[in-house]
Amino acid sequence: MPDDNARQGARQSVRQSVLLLDTSKEFRGGQRQLTLLAGGLRDLGRDVHIGLRPERPLHQRLRDEGYPLLFLDPKFEGAPGSVFKVARYVDDHAIPVINSQTSHDHTLGWLAQGRAKSRPVHVVTRRVDFAPKSGWFHRRKYGRGADHYIAISEAIRRVLLDWGIPGERATRIYSSVTPIEQVEGARESVLAEFGLEPETILLGNVAGLVDHKGQRYLIDAVDRVIAERPNVVLLIAGDGPLRGELEAATQSLKGHDRIKFLGWRQDIPRLLSALDLFVMTSHMEGLCTSILDAMSARVPVVATKAGGIPEIVRDGETGWLAENKNPSDIAARILHALDDTESTRIRVENAAKMVETEFSVREMSRSTAELYARLVAQR
């Protein structure tokens, strides 16, 4: 009987183990979600291992968190040394699930699964709302290179299904955010930081300065708003390859001195707490947790109809939706949100409740753990 109990305990331990793979060199939204998922799974009693690059931002965030770490430094997608390292690791630690977090790690996890003697389940988290590439390699990678896909929005799940992934191999599990409390005195301190008048209306955007985030349309829209509301100021928090181009484009606008680029900031809760309105103008977007952060902080939101955004910015209920790449419509929605104070109040309350109930770390982690268990049982 003790031997049977020991074997049962070992099997239970195996079912609760996972290796999360993310060899990204930067720390952005996907890496933030990995940290939240890892913590949530650990709180549920799961044994979480993480494969990552040493001394990169993700490692720097996790080095003191107590997770078993597998250091990987692939020179290219599916580098053999990293493949064999992952395969040996899951075999040595009896890990039944590999969850790859990026497209490059999809290849790594797929090849490692094939080399591992234990044949772990391979799950791929998909965060982007465009279809996989065509060609024989990608057909094989996406067709056979994963047992299951986690889509962080229904929009992404539909893209996968349209590409050819069977519906039973793709599950929508929303990304999550941690609650953001209002920072006392934030508005006064932010106004003072930028030398702004007390009556200033603060609009904000938090995102990387890359094409799909659509800041070029945001800048054009806000310039139109400033023509009607000269006391409006836009704060753009984030950095990226388009910063120089965007700053140059801003200089030709009449309201250029009312549009400020802040670079990467470590005080996002403070900035959000100071805002009158959050605006996101992506033309491609998997979900956008920056919007969820703003909603959690009880900031009204105007956003575009890109990807999974309409699943969180529910027009007329939790925010305002504008047409993609349409500065005129974006400007009109901003002015409406600023003018209709009662409607704004209702949407802010609805949005905060939605985030709390549908986008919590516990809900994301519970759904993910249940998916792992089901896939392992099927295996």
For the record, the structure tokens of 378 come out as 């099927």
Q: Residue 374's closest CA among 81, 70, 148?
A: 148
Q: Residue 271's closest CA among 307, 232, 297?
A: 297
pLDDT at position 135 is 87
pLDDT at position 95 is 98
Q: What is the pLDDT of residues 185-219, one digit of tens each?
A: 999 999 999 999 999 999 999 999 999 999 999 99
pLDDT at position 379 is 81
Task: Give me the residue spans of the domains in the chain.
Answer: 2-175+360-378, 186-358
pLDDT at position 11 is 43
Q: Give the global pTM.
A: 0.91
* pLDDT beyond 80 at 12: no
How far apart are the C-alpha atoms of 375 and 379, rounded to whole Å?
A: 6
* Secondary structure string (H, E, C) spanning the chain: CHHHHHHHHHHHHHHCEEEEECCCCCCCHHHHHHHHHHHHHHHCCCEEEEEECCCCHHHHHHCCCCCCEEECCCCCCCCHHHHHHHHHHHHHCCCCEEEECCHHHHHHHHHHHHHCCCCCEEEEEECCCCCCCCCHHHHHHHHHCCCEEEECCHHHHHHHHHHCCCHHHEEECCCCCCCCCCCCCHHHHHHHHCCCCCCCEEEEEECCCCHHHCHHHHHHHHHHHHHHCCCEEEEEEECCCCHHHHHHHHHCCCCHHHEEEEECCCCHHHHHHHCCEEEECCCCCCCCHHHHHHHHCCCCEEEECCCCHHHCCCECCCEEEECCCCHHHHHHHHHHHHHCHHHHHHHHHHHHHHHHHHCCHHHHHHHHHHHHHHHHHHC
* pLDDT beyond 80 at 3: no
pLDDT at position 126 is 98
Mean pLDDT of 343-352: 96
Q: What is the pLDDT of residues 243-279, one digit of tens each?
A: 999 999 999 998 899 999 999 999 999 999 999 999 9
The yes-or-no answer to whether 2-175+360-378 and 186-358 have a common fold is yes
Positive/negative CA dihedral, 354, 214, 201, 302? negative
Q: What is the CATH number of domain 186-358?
A: 3.40.50.2000
pLDDT at position 217 is 98
Q: Does domain 2-175+360-378 have CATH number 3.40.50.2000?
A: yes
Are 35 and 59 within 8 A, CB to CB? no
| % of residues, the chain, pLDDT over 70 | 96
pLDDT band at 332 (very low <50, low <70, confident <90, very high): very high
Q: What is the pLDDT of residues 63-101, one digit of tens each?
A: 999 999 999 999 998 999 999 999 999 999 999 999 999
